[in-house]
Structure 1
Amino acid sequence: MNIKLFIKRLEALHKPLADLYQTASILPWIPADMLPQAYQELYNNSKMLQLAAEELYQQNEALKETQNLLETERQHYQDLFEYAPDGYLVTNKEGIIQNANIAAIKLLNISKQFLIGKAMINFVCLEARQHFRQELNQIYQADRTKELFIRLQQRHGEYFDAAFTVRVIRNPEGNAINLLWLLRNIGDRQQTELISAESYSEFIQNRPRYKYSKGETIPLNNSVVWYIFQGLVKLSTFCETGEEVLLGLAKTQMVFGSGMTSLSIYQATALSDVELVPIYVSELLVTPALSHSLLPKINQRLQQTESFLVISKKQLVEDRLQHLLELLKQEIGELVEEGTRLSVRLTHEDIASACGTTRVTVTRLLGKLQQQGLISIDTKKHIILKNSAARI
């Protein structure tokens, strides 16, 4: 629907109705009680329809701006993925390659157009293929990241020893939909050795921590990446009208920083008491092992931003709210007796900005879901998604 054209047509309809109504009201020989009741209702209804259309137009403009901001954020994280120093592959759970970054393309010695759609097993040496098939069948059933060491062969090239770090990507219902592969050539272990989980944990533990209370704005600096040791941080920006736009939620073990976005206005707010560990960008440049370890955490932010972008593309506000609640359930949900409780209280303004609509609309829709028994609100104003609702 062309909303601008729709509003113009309403205005064209409303003006003659208003003129006719005024003329009929002031004619001395027509008593006021003789004005047709139906005509008065028609006039009033046309005025209400015009106001509703104007509100729809404003909401549509706000939604467009939200989509543009999210697309900018998504593209920035996509660039981080594309130009990462290590190889990254995205496959379906059968191991068919769906996406690859520049480093992976170079490692496998094949152009991207020929790589997409090929099975991972095509690059595994013959003697290791049976083992690879067994591992692939088990990977998507696991809930944790898995390490694999496989001998690969470049297309029309040499063999090399590769290390894979594989992570399962799941939809809001918990079903495996994709596999994310971090691919490294470990032929030269001195250059590609990564920080182990134990040493990485020690690395974080030995750093200073900065604490911020719930509601505080966290200072941002292009030279610092914040690692969240504990807590939840809201990442947002502001549109031209001054309205806040929710871009994402960074939780424990995620990273964020103003240097990780191309937006000129970027704000981080503590949604709970948080503890942050600073990591300087200069360290990442001289410590490849550290940047390698942080890259999967940056990828988490990319995936979340893409999820928010998908939500903003939904045509109906009800659908946007439904998918947002499902995403929040996955990101910050905690199991309770009644269902899944969102561990942090988000205001109706926060939810409205993520859905590209107004606070009043979100309040009405949440009230409707509550009446239907699909959600409830606990004593601390946290939303609980009921067990009885497979989908909201």
Structure 2
Amino acid sequence: MFATEIQPKRSRHRHQLPLARQEQRIFQRQQLIPQRENMLWQINDGYLRTITLTEAGEIHTLGIWGPGDIVGISLNRNYPHQMEPLSTVKATSIRDDSIFAGQWLIAYLEQTEALLNIQYESLVKNRLLLFLKWLSDRFGHSVEPGLSTGIRLTHQEIGESINTTRVTVTRVLGKLQEEGYLTWFNRYCVLKNLK
């Protein structure tokens, strides 16, 4: 999987780009998105995550990105660094030498910092709730039982995002559902009674 080459509630840093477009592409789930220096991708539709591989061979999620977000190797110097679609992704390549580069970097850093702060929570239950709340705030929308996360992730992908195992995610999700914190609606996780 790892190559060695290099909505409703939305972030306030979405950009409508007045730049010349270079290339529009569609990527399927888990198809790695190509990266080149001086090129970024603006996500038009779908979701992806940026990931890196530790020396021990573990995958760490660096960020989760959706429509309007700008991603690319120029914004992240982790190596190896990959962009992996979590759904079908439509994206447009753009040059990163524009006057907007500083704005993109700030938006990128804000989202990466938010995810990093979640990973420092010591209790897995709290870390998982914070992560689901973050997803809901960033990508979700209101549904009858509560607030949908707006994105479907496997238990493995969740574990890689909050630094725990797939088995632990499955167990804790079950406990949270029993305790009434969440439910499932059309295969999306829905948070209930969270402020």
- Give the TM-score band, short-chain normalised: 0.7 to 0.9
Q: Which one of 291, 298, 319 corresponds to residue 99 of structure 2?
A: 291
User: CA offset at residue 371 of structure 1?
Assistant: 0.9
Match of 1:222 among 28, 37, 47: 37
Q: Is the Cα contact below 8 Å between 1:250 and 1:301 reproduced in 2?
A: no
Q: In structure 1, how many angstroms separate the alpha carbons of the residues matched to 2:107 and 2:190?
A: 24
Cα deviation 1:251-272 (Å, max 9, x = unaligned): 1111111122121111111112
- Structure 1 residue 144, shift from structure 2 partner: 10
TM-score norm. by structure 1 comes to: 0.44
1:95-134 equivalent positions in 2, closer than 5 A: none
List structure 1 runs of 4+ shifted beyond 2 angstroms. 294-298
Distance in structure 1 (CA, Å) of the matches to 2:130 and 2:60: 17
Distance of 2:52 and 2:183 partners within structure 1 = 29
> Corresponding residue for 1:300?
107
Q: Distance in 1 between matches of 2:152 and 2:99?
A: 33
Return the index of the structure with the highest Cα Rg.
1
Distance 1:375 1:291 in 2: 42
Following superposition of structure 1 onto structure 2, how do residues 147-226 of structure 1 map, counting pairs within 5 Å?
200-201=17-18, 203=19, 207-226=22-41
Q: Which 5+ residue runs of structure 2 have no aligned equivalent?
A: 1-8
Across the two proteins, how many residue pairs are aligned to each other? 186
Match for residue 244 of structure 1? Answer: 59
1:390 corresponds in structure 2 to 194
Residue-by-residue CA offset, 1:92-142 (whole Å, 9 max, x unaligned): xxxxxxxxxxxxxxxxxxxxxxxxxxxxxxxxxxxxxxxxxxxxxxxxxxx
Deviation at 1:207, TM superposition (A): 4.6
Q: Between Structure 1 and Structure 2, which shows a larger proportion of helix residues?
A: 1
Q: Find the partner of 2:47 among 218, 228, 232.
A: 232
Contact 2:140/2:150 (<8 A) preserved: yes
* Cα-Cα RMSD: 2.5
Q: Give the TM-score, by structure 2 length.
A: 0.84
Which residue in 2 is equivalent to 1:181? none
Question: Is structure 2 residue 172 aligned with structure 1 residue 365?
Answer: yes
In structure 1, what is the Cα distance between the partners aligned to 2:185 and 2:47? Answer: 20
Question: How many percent identity over aligned positions?
Answer: 30
Residues 233 and 250 in structure 1, CA contact (< 8 A), matched pair in contact too: yes
Say whether residues 1:315 and 2:146 are aligned partners.
Answer: no
* Cα pair distance change 1:334/1:144, threshold 3 Å: closer
Contact residue 334 and residue 343 of structure 1 kept, 8 A: yes
